[in-house]
Amino acid sequence: MNPDFVQLVLITVVTAATPLAIAAIGELVAERAGVLNLGVEGMMIVGASVGFAAAYLSDSTLLGALAGTVSGVAMAGLFAFLVIGLAANQVASGLALTILGGGLSGLIGAGFVGQKRTAAPSLSIPGLTDLPGFGRLVFGQDMFVYAGIALIAAVAYGLARTRAGLTLRAVGDNHQSAHVLGFPVLRIRLLAVLFGGGCAGLAGSYLSLAYTPFWSPGMTAGRGWIALALVVFASWRPWRVLAGALLFGGATVLQLHAQALGVGLPGQLLSAVPYLATVLALVLLSWRNRRGAAAPAMLGAPFIADR
């Protein structure tokens, strides 16, 4: 098989996996703190619309990415006010956030439908990017790909090796004990939720600035839900998030290539392959570990300090 063709396929797998990995690693941090945010899809779609609008008006991909990230943080701040400040139900609040994000993104992006701009530039290192077989794959990606890998590495190190990471995990496992020991549970959860929102917004801006450099309502196409499932699939371990994202990204690319080759299956069925792969992965994970994955013990439980 032609090495250049293999490299091209792997590049498309990486690009399809990037928004899933970035959104999932942010949600992983929030869930490690004990907060279940089902609004990832809503934060992603708002990040996509705000990111494209800012990039289009400023002609800067960097400003667009920053704006998308900030919009995700703002959406997460609203969610945090409900579930952390008011101790509202996390599932209902997350679903409401997704619905709000869908409507808000349509309002923000209404004037940008059909507009196009140049995709985010890719890295180019003379002598390295042009290496046959792997040059473009390793040294020719855009900034979002490298930012995603850096985020996963930082989260993996932080959760396992730093005091802040161990404190966050303690809050997610037993928030009452953490409170008794003097840890600011509400503040830790707030920061974790805001970080998750920023990652979701960044993942959304990647879709409209690099993956498909235009804005279209509903362009996240369920990726936020896949990111949520990916956290469970990864058993709340950062590096497994990357592996799972590549797996689901591969499923996305597989259905695209299958449609291009004219495989004798309905296009709707092929388009459902990534989501079927998500369901299958979760079923296999549950069957493998019937006692449940290593979920934080306080996941989804509100914290109200004793008075």
Give 53-67 pLDDT, tens digit per residue. Answer: 999 999 999 999 999
pLDDT at site 19:
96
Residues of the chain with pLDDT under 50: none
pLDDT at residue 55, as a whole number: 96
Taking only the tens place, the pLDDT of each residue in 16-62 is 999 999 999 999 999 999 999 999 999 999 999 999 999 999 999 99
Q: What's residue 271's pLDDT?
A: 67
Supply the pLDDT for residue 131: 85
pLDDT at res. 61: 96
Task: With beta carbons less than 8 A apart as the criterion, state whether 32 and 296 touch.
Answer: yes
Give phi and psi for 201, each to the nearest 5.
Answer: -65, -40
Q: What is the reported pLDDT for 91?
A: 96
Domains of the chain, residue spans: 3-220
pLDDT at 257: 64
